[in-house]
Amino acid sequence: MSEARPRRARFVDVAESSTARIGAMLTTSIEPQRSGPPPLLRGLSDQERSEVVSVGARRILYKGATLFSQGRPQNGIYLIESGRIKVFYAAPSGRAITLAYWHPGNFVGGPEVFDHGVHVWSGVAAVNSSVLHLPGQELRKMVARMPKLGVNIIEGLAFKGKCYSGMAQMLGTRSATERLAYVLLQLMDLYGVHEDEGVLIAANFTHADISNMIGATRQWVTINLQRFAEQGILNSRRSHLVIQDPTALFAIRDGLEGKGATEQTASAQE
């Protein structure tokens, strides 16, 4: 599905947007998409929201554009107004692991919020996006006057910490097959459109994207998606996936299926 080019930049009321109810897309067991952090501007008065926006610098990013880079100087955070931002960590070997896909209402950047620092991961636009850069020093001043803004930042940071901790636990304790099933279920929940054949994942995630989410190779993901197709769990339609048997994915995610010879074969290819 092609993404529309963003139009003239404008402020989106992410504090009240229904899209902001979606917290993030992560490979954790926390179910963040329905119980994510509060939108950064939630609970602020109209005057307070206007003040926050007035100190920010808006950036329009086309799909694939870099928002911030690992190892580069960092100052403040970025409030996502529209689109989707992928955050990932790249090892010296060049191998990358996706940490999260963040949606409107969330903030990315950090881990420093008020002070200067260095980015410890990178962020790119997964689709055409609009973000608002909020400098650290200005944020510090506003938090002193807007307690609710401070609470939202703290809750957002706490949520990120739980998600990244959960991801580390997931990578260390679940097989790649279980992680693949989990990610497919999250994608279905976030982007699913019900059709006669099943649930269409109405967003374009490549096999490489999925491999970076679960810590496996692209070839392994391709082989196992084909295996799922042969089992009648899903099928491919151009560049999109249609989930036909979510119950089977839940069983695989929870380790109730996919054991034995099939699991051994999958593990050998990780």
**pLDDT tens-place string over residues 58-96:** 999 999 999 999 999 999 999 999 999 999 988 888 888
Q: Tell me: do 184 and 127 sit in the same domain.
A: no
Per-residue pLDDT of the chain (270 residues; tens, 9 = 90+): 444 443 333 333 333 333 333 345 454 443 434 445 668 999 999 999 999 999 999 999 999 999 999 999 999 999 999 999 999 988 888 888 888 888 899 999 978 899 888 999 999 999 999 999 999 999 999 999 999 999 999 998 888 888 777 778 778 888 999 999 988 988 888 788 888 888 998 877 889 888 888 888 999 999 999 999 999 999 987 778 999 999 999 999 888 864 543 444 444 445
User: Based on the domain organization, do 167 and 50 belong to the same domain?
Assistant: yes
Domain span at residue 57? Answer: 18-172
**What span, in angstroms and rounded, lies between the C-alpha atoms of 38 and 23?**
8
Same domain, residue pair 141 and 47: yes
Q: Are 91 and 104 in the same domain?
A: yes
> Is residue 7 included in any domain, yes or no?
no
The whole-angstrom separation of Cα 37 and Cα 22 is 9
Residue at 2 is within a domain: no
Q: Which amino acid is at 39?
A: P
Question: Nearest 10 degrees: CA dihedral of 97, 130, 203, 121?
Answer: 0
One domain for residues 168 and 182: no
Q: Are residues 91 and 116 in the same domain?
A: yes
Domain boundary among the residues 102, 137, 172 is at: 172
Are 199 and 66 contained in the same domain?
A: no
Task: List, in order, residues 6 or more apart from 109 with CB less than 8 Å away.
Answer: 68, 74, 76, 77, 78, 119, 123
111 prior amide bond cis, ω within 30:
yes
